[in-house]
Amino acid sequence: MAYSIAPGSLALSRSVLDRAADRRRDDDWLEKAWAAPETQVVVVAGDKIQVVDDRSALRFLRPSEAPEGLRIFLGIDRESGAGMTAEGRAVFGVLVSGDGDESYGGLRELGAVLDDREAGIAVHLIGLSNWHAVYTHCGNCGEHTEVAEAGHVRRCPNCGLSHFPRSDPAIIVLVTDDQDRALLGRNEAWPAGRYSTLAGFVEPGESLEAAVRREVLEETGVIVGQEVEYAASQPWPLPASLMLGFYAKATNFDIDVDQDEIAEAKWFTREDLRVLIEAGTMALPGAISISRRLIEGWYGESLSGSW
């Protein structure tokens, strides 16, 4: 197959900060870092993060300007050259209650706008915010859990169990046939002309390759053979997905859509895509999605026409 996603082209897979996980348990260091004037704080509410007035970047506050809320240590910017130690500048998030007003923005809006450093901060912080919002109680005994390790663990005071933030693996795949056509599907909820690659969550006890074969078969009736190649991954913390992108080759090309999740699925040549997009009758997933990058990796160049 040998298709690939262009390195650095996945908007939400970029990151620069050193997460410095060893510092999460070092309360003295964390207090010193919070007290340093160079330290930067980003505020998150629900799945939205505070931005500057023209919405082109995250809003960084000094610790003294930060609102009350759950303090989360995100990491150290080693490249900033400033900070309380030679290590670099510490970056924290503060989780406040509510959904955020118009000074906040979501990943769909910000993903393609933010630079590498800010994109990494945004997905990390929004992922943790979504996790704290839901996993407030112990899944083992039901007791309310307490935040530990600078916001990266919740611990049960009753049974002692530690709970860690989730990442739910989901496969997303571009399948090709013997003529090198691409299999794209339209979700039932989408308007005519909107197509994407196929995707679904990995089930317990299932390998990624098996999940690819099962999802493609369930949704379209197409059979994927041995050729399943990993391409790249992208976090999608809404609420907790980790998208694992693949290219795969079908061995049986007959389409029989399940009509449950997918309304229609078709094999497309590159020429089909070019003509339909130029005519404005086909739309592909947005620029920050791994689905679009998988399609462009197969197509051979960037495509226009997104929803």
Interacting residues with Zn ion (CB under 5 A): 138, 140-141, 143, 156, 158-159, 161
Reading the block at residue 251, the tokens are 């061995």
Q: How far apart are CA 286 and CA 306, in angstroms?
A: 5
Q: Are the CB atoms for 50 and 103 separated by under 8 Å?
A: yes
Q: How far apart are CA 118 and CA 124, in angstroms?
A: 10
The DSSP output letter for 296 is H
Strands 223-236 and 241-252: antiparallel
Q: How far apart are CA 150 and CA 71, in angstroms?
A: 7
Strands 223-236 and 162-163: unpaired
Comparison of 161 and 287: residue with beta carbon closer to Zn ion: 161
Reading the block at residue 87, the tokens are 């290590």
> Smallest gap, in angstroms, from Cβ of residue 130 to Zn ion?
21
> Smallest gap, in angstroms, from Cβ of residue 136 to Zn ion?
12
Q: Is 106 left (phi over 0), alpha (psi -120 to 50) or beta?
A: beta
> Smallest gap, in angstroms, from Cβ of residue 161 to Zn ion?
5
Comparison of 37 and 160: residue with beta carbon closer to Zn ion: 160
> Smallest gap, in angstroms, from Cβ of residue 287 to Zn ion?
43
Comparison of 67 and 157: residue with beta carbon closer to Zn ion: 157
Comparison of 140 and 259: residue with beta carbon closer to Zn ion: 140
> Smallest gap, in angstroms, from Cβ of residue 159 to Zn ion?
3
> Smallest gap, in angstroms, from Cβ of residue 149 to Zn ion?
17
Q: How far is CA 142 from CA 81, 131, 136, 164, 239, in A?
A: 45, 16, 9, 16, 22
Q: Are the CB atoms for 55 and 108 separated by under 8 Å?
A: no
Reading the block at residue 74, the tokens are 């995100």
Q: Are the CB atoms for 200 and 260 separated by under 8 Å?
A: no
> Smallest gap, in angstroms, from Cβ of residue 76 to Zn ion?
32
Comparison of 20 and 138: residue with beta carbon closer to Zn ion: 138
What is the length of the chain? Answer: 307
Q: What is the largest CA-CA distance in the chain?
A: 63
Comparison of 67 and 142: residue with beta carbon closer to Zn ion: 142
Comparison of 146 and 168: residue with beta carbon closer to Zn ion: 146
